[in-house]
C-alpha cells in the first residue's frame, strides 16, 4: 500500500485520483486551498482521505503535507489560459513557485517520485500534428509558460538531485466533477450546461478549432501507471496523455445535441487571445513508457459526463 500526496486533490482531476487511490486501498493525503477545488468533490471517500488545507505558495504548508509520503501526484495549479492572461502573476506564483515548493519539499522529505500535471498548451500553435514530445515548445500564454517552467524544474530535479519525476502533458481533460459555472470553465461542461438549460453554446471563433478531448478516467490511469512504474524508469521525461484523435468544437456541439436530443445551434463570438487552433497528441511514448492505452473514448466519455451533470444539476 502506497502513501500518496495529491496536491489540488479537491479539484476536478485531483478528486478523481483521490477516489481511485482510496478505492484501491492506498493511503491518500490531499493538499488544497479549496479556492477552486471543493470539499464536496471528495464526497464518498472523505473518511479514507486525509485533508490538509494549505497553499502551494507557502513552503511550510507543502512541507507539512509531504511528511511520510512516497509518491506525489502534483495536480495543484491555477488553470485557464484566459485567467493567466488577466493575472499572470497569480498564475506564476501558484504554478511555478508552487511546483518548485513541491519539488523542494519532496526532496527534503525523501519522497520517491513526483508526477507532475503539465499541459498540451506548452506546444503552442505550431501547425505540425500530431504533437510529439520531441517538438520544441512554443507557449502562447502565461499559463502555458508556467506549465513549461514546471516541466523544466522536474527535469532539473531529476538530473541534479536524483529524484524520479515525470511530466504528463494532459490534453483537454473532461468528465465528472469539472466545474461548469466558473467564468474560466472548460468547453465541455460549459456546453453541456448551456444545452441542459435550453441555451445556445458560445463558440469563440468559427468552431473549426479541434481538440484531443481526453476523458478523466484515462488521465487517472496514466497517473497510476506512472506511480507504479519500475524504479529508475522515470527520469524527468515528458509524456502526452490523450486519446490520439481530435474533434472540432462543431463536432462537439453536434455530439452533445445527439446525446441530449436537442437541436441548439452555437452562437459565434470573436476568437480569444492565446487560444490554440488545433491540438492532437501522439501517444506512443506513453504507451511505451507507461503501458498507457486510453480506455474511454470521446463518445463514451461525453455520455458519462452528460449523465453525471444531469444528476448533479
**CB burial string 5-22: b at 16+ within 10 A, e below:** bbbbbbbbbbbbbbbbbb
| Residue-level pLDDT, tens digit, the chain, 313 residues | 579 999 999 999 999 999 999 999 999 999 999 999 999 999 999 999 999 999 999 999 999 999 999 999 999 999 888 899 999 999 999 999 999 999 999 999 999 999 999 999 999 998 899 999 999 999 999 999 999 999 999 999 999 999 999 999 999 999 999 988 877 778 999 999 999 999 999 999 999 999 999 999 999 999 999 999 998 889 999 999 999 999 999 999 999 999 999 999 999 999 988 788 999 999 999 999 999 999 999 999 999 999 999 998 7
Peptide bond into 130 cis (omega under 30): yes
List pLDDT tens digits, range 62-78: 999 999 999 999 999 99
Tell me the CA distances in angstroms from 232 to 63, 130, 160, 162, 206, one per residue in order.
Answer: 24, 28, 15, 10, 46
**Gap between the Cα atoms of 181 and 80, Å rounded:** 14
β-pair partners for 247: 211
What's the pTM value of the predicted model, to 2 decimals? 0.96
Q: How many other C-beta atoms can be found within 10 angstroms of the C-beta atom of residue 152?
A: 14
- Asked if residues 194 and 126 have their Cβ atoms less than 8 Å apart, the reply is no
What pLDDT is recorded for position 296?
98
Q: Who's near 40: CB < 8 A, 6+ residues apart?
A: none
What pLDDT is recorded for position 1?
57
Sorted by where each starts, the structural domains of the chain and their CATH numbers stand as 3-175+215-243+281-295 (3.40.50.720)
What pLDDT is recorded for position 80?
87
Amino acid at each position: 500500500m502506497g502513501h500518496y500526496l495529491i496536491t489540488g486533490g479537491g479539484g476536478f482531476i485531483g478528486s478523481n485520483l483521490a477516489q481511485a487511490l482510496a478505492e484501491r486501498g492506498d493511503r491518500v493525503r490531499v493538499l488544497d486551498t479549496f479556492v477552486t477545488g471543493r470539499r464536496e468533490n471528495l464526497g464518498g471517500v472523505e473518511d479514507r482521505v486525509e485533508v490538509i488545507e494549505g497553499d502551494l505558495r507557502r513552503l511550510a504548508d507543502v512541507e507539512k503535507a509531504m511528511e511520510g509520503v512516497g509518491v506525489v501526484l502534483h495536480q495543484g495549479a491555477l488553470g485557464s489560459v484566459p485567467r493567466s492572461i488577466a493575472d499572470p502573476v497569480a498564475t506564476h506564483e501558484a504554478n511555478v513557485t508552487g511546483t518548485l515548493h513541491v519539488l523542494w519539499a519532496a526532496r527534503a522529505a525523501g519522497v520517491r517520485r513526483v508526477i507532475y500535471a503539465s499541459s498540451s498548451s506548452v506546444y503552442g500553435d505550431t501547425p505540425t500534428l500530431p504533437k510529439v514530445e520531441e517538438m520544441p515548445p512554443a507557449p502562447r500564454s502565461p499559463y502555458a509558460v508556467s506549465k513549461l517552467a514546471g516541466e523544466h524544474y522536474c527535469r532539473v530535479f531529476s538530473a541534479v538531485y536524483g529524484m524520479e519525476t515525470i511530466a504528463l502533458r494532459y490534453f483537454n481533460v473532461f468528465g465528472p466533477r469539472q466545474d461548469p459555472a466558473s467564468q474560466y470553465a472548460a468547453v465541455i461542461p460549459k456546453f453541456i450546461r448551456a444545452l441542459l438549460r435550453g441555451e445556445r453554446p458560445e463558440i469563440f471563433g468559427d468552431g473549426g478549432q479541434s481538440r484531443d478531448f481526453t476523458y478523466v478516467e484515462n488521465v487517472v490511469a496514466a497517473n497510476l501507471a506512472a506511480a507504479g512504474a519500475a524504479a529508475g524508469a522515470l527520469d524527468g521525461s515528458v509524456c502526452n496523455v490523450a486519446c490520439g484523435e481530435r474533434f472540432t468544437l462543431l463536432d462537439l456541439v453536434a455530439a452533445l445535441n445527439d446525446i441530449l436530443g436537442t437541436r441548439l445551434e452555437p452562437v459565434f463570438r470573436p476568437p480569444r487571445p492565446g487560444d490554440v487552433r488545433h491540438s492532437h497528441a501522439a501517444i506512443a511514448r506513453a504507451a511505451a513508457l507507461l503501458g498507457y492505452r486510453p480506455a474511454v473514448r470521446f463518445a463514451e466519455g461525453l455520455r458519462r459526463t452528460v449523465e453525471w451533470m444531469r444528476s448533479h444539476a
